[in-house]
Structure 1
Amino acid sequence: MELPVIDLAPYLSSQAANEDSADSLSETDALKRLCKHVADCLKEAGALVVRDPRCSTEDNDRFLDMMETYFGKPDEFKRQQARPDLHYQVGVTPEGVELPRSAVDSSVCADVNGLSEENRPQLPTGPDPKWRYMWRVGPRPGKTRFQELNAEPVIPPGFPEWADVMNTWGRKMIAAVEVVAEMLAIGFGLERDAITNLMHQGPHLLAPTGSDLSRYGKGTVFAGYHYDLNVMTIHGKSRFPGLFIWLRDGTRVPVKVPDGCLLLQAGKQLEWLTGGECKAGMHEVAVSEQTLQAVERARREGRSLWRVSSTVFGHIASDANLQPLGHFADSPTAHLYPPIAAGEFVEAELSAINLKRQRVQVQPGTTDQAAVIIDEDT
């Protein structure tokens, strides 16, 4: 199966032509159908592919070139940019730190047991062997209860182009997320700005991963079976295949992103906002036979063997309330998603996957406390 490709150009054109009217965008039947298609795709597959004329292949290549150079630096150099005191939400996260959700959440493992043999993921019990770099995208609030989630960025020495490359690509990707968020809201019968208003000054992150394909072979799981904790995730095309997603019916699908396109996935915050109507998409990154074929081509051409994901996490603002929106508040499953500050939700999720010292667990269905401390890291 190939994910549908949705061209954002018609919506962008209508947006530009109707800048002075807040309601006109949702009045065109063709645009309504397009927005409904976006909502249906995220509901059924947890993911879709979009083409945004503002996000070029050249921008993505410039970003990937720089990150391949960075991840290829010695480990001791990269570790200087780690900020564990800030929950690794800026700077680098070394390999062997982040735990996949499947390693810490019994409900995720229970779901896996219900899958057919050919659709089951591997379930590593230890941390992921990937590196990640977190770079803040866009403005942050002047006042917030969650300073660690809104910290200043870290720039590695020897990369004078770093801030420009990261900001240019990160802002373009977030702009695409915001357009999809508007279309999704219209498709779900909400106000056009229902989601984007909550995203204003959110702790958005350009968060590329780096996986060393010169060290790890077939079957290696770089990112174990998990969902993303944010509202929506967007990826530029990677130079190496290996991303697999699970559809709502439990089918495991290798992702193929056409040139010039972007992959978008639903996150846990979106599941919360829709009262479970749009589930967070489960996925993993693993070395497949196709990955090895791409490695051999890269070797012959003298290219880097680091698999870099061109990833941006779009977030709800830390101090905003996370709860089912509009008519989703009346859905039969709305009670499973109690109100919680987005920042509290994020901190609890980070604790569960070993990025925050105090281990906290968030589970749908909690009624008295949305965040429950389960132990202390040392």
Structure 2
Amino acid sequence: MTDTLPRPSAIEPVSFKLYDGDFEAFSKALGDSFKRYGFAVISDYDLEQPKIDAAIDSAKRFFALPEETKRQYVVGKGGQRGYIPFGIETAKDADHFDLKEFWHMGRDLPEGHRYNAVMPANVWPAETPDFHEKIAWLYGALDRMGVKVLQAIAHYLNLPRHQFDDAVEYGNSVLRLLHYPPIPEHATGVRAGAHGDINAITLLLGAEEGGLEVKDRDGQWLPINPPPGCLVCNIGDMLERATNNVLPSTIHQVVNPPPERRGVPRYSTPFFLHFAPDYEIKTLPGCATPENPDRYPQSITADDFLMQRLREIKLL
């Protein structure tokens, strides 16, 4: 499968300036986009672009290291931290693994924290000395942005604005640094097979190379090629469940490039914002109605949900 020439993004950006200037308008525009597509695009974000660029440059230097060096950092269960080599992660029900390698950074917890048993410590590559500082900054910046997006979602659902603040303060959130290598002419598989995200919401800085597509209600694949300086956000399976499918977790994929771009690698940095491990995922107030009966009468903890899904994608 290959992509065609780049097409404009199907989703109109929402300006982050509205967060402080007109929160009601920001919440409605963002929520309407999530309800329609499961995705939204945020422009004019207040993240420092030079620091973003520095973090991505540091990630590129790590991925350029020899394979045997990178494999020293394969640690932990389910690929929750460190390096995950090429040829491991496989989209649910897919026949072939994704054409990618990646690195995971998770939340740094205080010593003796009750979540230490299920949220392993981070590891850092010695070969790229600035990696820790720059990647940790990006994690924190996207973590804070994610809280603001969740505030807009809560307001859109007629819930208290800070409904989710405590639920994600010590959430098992993960920053993924992704490297999709150049594609051989007769490669089997795609860069990222069709899938839904496990977590609450995902925040994705625009990639240098295109390829991200979202499956619309009619089965058509829509391109998501946001303008520079934009952030793509999408609803994950956990929040879809908590909202009783009011906000959908939409299937998406990263298709292979056209022939003239096969030799160009692709890098991206999705931030998977998770609830705390013991957060009880259950239908939120107002999300079950006579027209939309409760699909999920049985609750499940965020950690149990995560472990179930990691097994499905072959990371456990």
- How high is the TM-score relative to the length of structure 2? 0.89
State the AA in 2 paired with 1:314: L
Q: Which of 11, 33, 42 lines up with 2:25 in the alignment?
A: 33
> Counterparts of 1:102 and 1:3 in 2: how far apart (Å)?
28
Deviation at 1:163, TM superposition (A): 1.2
> Counterparts of 1:140 and 1:295 in 2: how far apart (Å)?
44
> Counterparts of 1:145 and 1:59 in 2: how far apart (Å)?
29
SS, match of residue 73 in structure 1:
coil
Q: Which of 2, 19, 38 lines up with 2:10 in the alignment?
A: 2
In structure 2, relative to structure 1, the CA distance for the partners of 1:235 and 1:45 (3 Å cut) is: same
> Counterparts of 2:185 and 2:297 in 1: how far apart (Å)?
39
> Counterparts of 1:99 and 1:42 in 2: how far apart (Å)?
26
Contact 1:272 1:337 in 2 (8 A): no
Aligned counterpart, 1:277: 246
Q: Which of 300, 305, 313 lines up with 1:340 in the alignment?
A: 300
Aligned counterpart, 1:316: 275
> Counterparts of 2:48 and 2:184 in 1: how far apart (Å)?
31
Aligned counterpart, 1:86: 77
Matched, 1:260 2:229: yes
Q: Trace 1:153-172 onto structure 2 (pairs within 5 A).
A: 153-172=122-141
State the AA in 2 paired with 1:130: K
Matched, 1:240 2:209: yes
In structure 2, relative to structure 1, the CA distance for the partners of 1:50 and 1:336 (3 Å cut) is: same
Q: Which has the larger radius of gyration?
A: 1
Q: Which of 121, 130, 145 lines up with 2:100 in the alignment?
A: 130
- Cα deviations by residue, 1:133-171 (Å, 9 ceiling, x for unpaired): 1001454695446724x1110101211111111111111
Matched, 1:325 2:284: yes
Contact 2:18 2:25 in 1 (8 A): no
Aligned counterpart, 2:3: none
State the AA in 2 paired with 1:64: I
Aligned counterpart, 1:122: none
> Counterparts of 2:138 and 2:193 in 1: how far apart (Å)?
26
> Counterparts of 2:127 and 2:195 in 1: how far apart (Å)?
34
Tell me which protein shows more helix as a share of its residues: 1
Deviation at 1:174, TM superposition (A): 1.6
In structure 2, relative to structure 1, the CA distance for the partners of 1:75 and 1:333 (3 Å cut) is: farther
> Counterparts of 1:184 and 1:153 in 2: how far apart (Å)?
30
Q: Trace 1:37-48 onto structure 2 (pairs within 5 A).
A: 37-48=29-40
Contact 1:72 1:306 in 2 (8 A): no
- How high is the TM-score relative to the length of structure 1? 0.75
In structure 2, relative to structure 1, the CA distance for the partners of 1:101 and 1:76 (3 Å cut) is: same
Deviates more, 1:47-56 or 1:161-170: 47-56
> Counterparts of 2:211 and 2:45 in 1: how far apart (Å)?
26
In structure 2, relative to structure 1, the CA distance for the partners of 1:56 and 1:258 (3 Å cut) is: farther
Contact 1:57 1:259 in 2 (8 A): no
SS, match of residue 33 in structure 1:
helix
Contact 2:59 2:131 in 1 (8 A): no
> Counterparts of 1:99 and 1:137 in 2: how far apart (Å)?
24
Contact 2:98 2:193 in 1 (8 A): yes
Contact 1:134 1:208 in 2 (8 A): yes
State the AA in 2 paired with 1:189: N
% of aligned pairs identical?
23
Q: Which of 117, 129, 153 lines up with 1:184 in the alignment?
A: 153
In structure 2, relative to structure 1, the CA distance for the partners of 1:311 and 1:141 (3 Å cut) is: farther
User: Does 1 or 2 have the higher relative contact order (CA < 8 Å, sep 6+)?
Assistant: 2
Contact 1:102 1:225 in 2 (8 A): no
Deviation at 1:244, TM superposition (A): 1.1
Aligned counterpart, 1:224: 193
Q: Which of 76, 79, 104 lines up with 2:68 in the alignment?
A: 76
> Counterparts of 1:287 and 1:219 in 2: how far apart (Å)?
10
Deviation at 1:31, TM superposition (A): 2.8
> Counterparts of 2:110 and 2:219 in 1: how far apart (Å)?
37
In structure 2, relative to structure 1, the CA distance for the partners of 1:274 and 1:325 (3 Å cut) is: same
Aligned counterpart, 1:354: 314
> Counterparts of 1:203 and 1:91 in 2: how far apart (Å)?
15
> Counterparts of 1:337 and 1:73 in 2: how far apart (Å)?
48
